[in-house]
Amino acid sequence: MTPSSRAAVPSDGRYQPGDLIHDKYLLVRRLGQGGMGTVWVAQNTVLQVSVAVKLIALGDQEDANENAERLLREARAAARLDHPAIVRVFDFGRTNHGDPFIVMELLHGESLADILARDSRMTGVQAVRAMLPIAHALASAHDKGVVHRDVKPENVILSTTEDGRTQPKLLDFGIASLQEKSTRITQEKRLTREGSVVGTPAYMSPEQAMGKADLDQRTDVWSFGVMLYELTTGRLPFDADNYNALLYEIINQRPEPVTAHAAGDDELWQIIEVALRKKPEERWGSMHAFGEALALWLVDRGVSDDVCAASLRSTWLESANVATRAVDLAETSPGTQPQSDKRSAPLVPLPSKPPSGKPKTVNERRPSGWPMRIAFIALCFVAGLLLVGQFVGADTVADTDHAARSDSPSASQAERGAASASGSRARELGEHGTDTLDAVPLDDVLGEVEADSKGASKGARAATSLGDTARKKRERAKSAPAPKKKPRTKDQVDFGF
């Protein structure tokens, strides 16, 4: 605790330095005052180590029962959690006066409330780096069914470890809601007067302000957003002169952007604004999602770790797909949001837990399809060459045959002439009949027949000679090399054949 807190500690005279609590813890000095009692620095006489002891001074019977139950709840909630950003609880019991107490680790540092009182505000980067370990602690608590319900600067200590590192610690689970599996413990109702609300008013969610009992992790998302708003601007998002007016603002009014107070930037405000939406279903669905958005905001500004020197990528980003944002911040800019609470659901669903799968990094590329495309084009090209080659060969043979036929017109004419002569002579003989044949001298007939026979034989020999010549030309044409290509002009495309 801080000097200001120590000065405010009341002295009821029941416990003094040197008193032995539970035959084990020797009170050394008062350290501060928590929500329900006094915190002492004590010495564990068995282990010879320093611890913090929170003592609850019981009042009337009703207060005694509530405070005892509340302290026991805090001990149980913290004992269920094992996180470096959550204060450790070692023991629980009652003093000789019957007052309950819990024993915790002793922290050396100051609360965020004391830092705000001294420095007024932090820069956006400083605030986010300091708060990310607390976001991770809340996410861990939510995963185990514990909802804090009283997140505020007084319950966050920036402690200093033995090696000089800064380690934020979340305290006071006194009004935490515990869940066994998925069933809320119904007997763990509000531990305040009937009709009142649970939590510190300025950090209450709208559902807390309306007195709803069924609170889930999204009420911690709201309180975390309020605290981040206060750290960056130096003022609360909702503030009023009295309690009822404050609750009305929380339930009905929209806060001013952090940029209106010269704090953060538009993207940081968009992230915080999602956390401060009135309807729980429109907020970040989990502290995991909220923390990832804040970690990405830091990475975009060249920051690689939080205030504990923990890597943002290994803590927040390597277990989630950050190529796609949980919500399109450009589409949820403050200027495009309606000014009343009657707005539609988020443009895209907000995640209740980090998406699974390996994230795509900036340098990761898809496998290229060019090798397969090039192989396909080459195959088509070779097939085209073979097909065109067949057509060219067939055309060459056909041209050669045509040339051979055109070179021997006399052979064809001789064959046709011989056949025509024979046919005409036969028709002549048939027309004259037998009488005419008898009138024709035999020697003349034989002479004509012999002449015709000699002409036909000469024509046949000529045709045979010409046919042999044509065949030889075809054979030479087949064995001759292919004709050279014509020179290609610059307007023609060379396909390789």
Q: Which residue segment(s) compose the domain that 220 sits in?
A: 110-186+193-336
> Is a pLDDT exceeding 50 seen at residue 131?
yes
User: Do 273 and 164 share a structural domain?
Assistant: yes
Of 105, 132, 156, the residue at which a domain comes to its end is 105
Give the pLDDT band of residue 423 (cuts 50, 70, 90). low
d(CA 455, CA 386): 51
Instruction: Check if 150 is active-site.
Output: yes
Judge whether 268 lies within some domain: yes
The answer to whether residue 170 is domain-embedded is: yes
Examine residue 381 and state whether it is found in any structural domain, yes or no. Answer: no
Q: What is the residue type of 456?
A: A
Residues 134 and 265 in one domain: yes
Over the stretch 132-185, which tens digit does the pLDDT of each residue have?
999 999 999 999 888 988 899 999 999 999 899 999 999 887 665 654 433 333
Q: Same structural domain for residues 233 and 313? A: yes
- The predicted pLDDT at position 32 comes to 82
Confidence of residue 213 (pLDDT cuts 50, 70, 90): confident
Catalytic residue among 114, 150, 220, 306: 150
For residue 486, what is the enclosing H or E element? none
Q: Within this chain, do residues 245 and 220 fall inside the same structural domain, yes or no?
A: yes
In tens, the pLDDT along 364-417 reads 444 456 677 787 888 888 888 887 777 666 655 555 555 555 555 544 554 555
Q: What's the CATH number where 86 sits?
A: 3.30.200.20
Query: In the listed set 56, 86, 105, which residue is the last one of a domain according to the structure?
Result: 105
Residue 497 pLDDT > 90: no
Q: Are residues 25 and 158 in the same domain?
A: no
Which of these ranges, 30-34, 182-186, 238-242, 297-301, has the smallest mean pLDDT? 182-186
Number of domains in the chain: 3
Whether this model's pTM surpasses 0.85: no
Please, which residues have CB within 8 angstroms of residue 209's CB and are 6 or more apart in sequence?
197, 201, 247, 250, 251
Q: Name the domain boundary from 336, 353, 372.
A: 336
Instruction: Report pLDDT for 82.
Output: 87
Give the model's confidence band at 343: pLDDT under 50 very low, under 70 low, under 90 confident, else very high: very low
Together in a domain, 10 and 64: yes
Domain at 142, CATH number? 1.10.510.10
List the single range of 138-142, 186-190, 479-483, 486-490 with lowest mean pLDDT.
Answer: 186-190
Residue 421 or 266, more confident: 266
Q: Is pLDDT above 90 for 127?
A: yes
Query: What pLDDT, in 10s, does the model give residues 28-70?
Result: 999 887 556 789 999 999 999 999 998 876 655 556 667 677 7
pLDDT score of 330 more than 50: no
Within-domain flag for 409? yes
Domain match, 235 and 248 both: yes
Residue type, 460: A
Query: Over the stretch 74-110, which tens digit does the pLDDT of each residue have?
Result: 777 777 888 999 999 899 888 888 888 989 999 999 9
Compute the mean pLDDT over every residue in the chain, rounded to the nearest whole number.
74
Contact 448, 425 (CB under 8 A): yes
Adjacency order of strands within the sheet including 38-44:
20-21, 25-33, 38-44, 49-55, 100-105, 89-94
Shared-domain flag, residues 99 and 145:
no
269 and 201 belong to one structural domain: yes
Residues 329 and 263 in one domain: yes
Q: What is the pLDDT of residue 175?
A: 62
In a domain, 175, yes or no: yes
In this structure, the answer to whether residues 89 and 118 fall within a common structural domain is no
| Planar angle of CA 141, 144, 148, nearest 5 degrees | 35
Residues 152 and 232 in one domain: yes
Residue 229 lies in a domain: yes
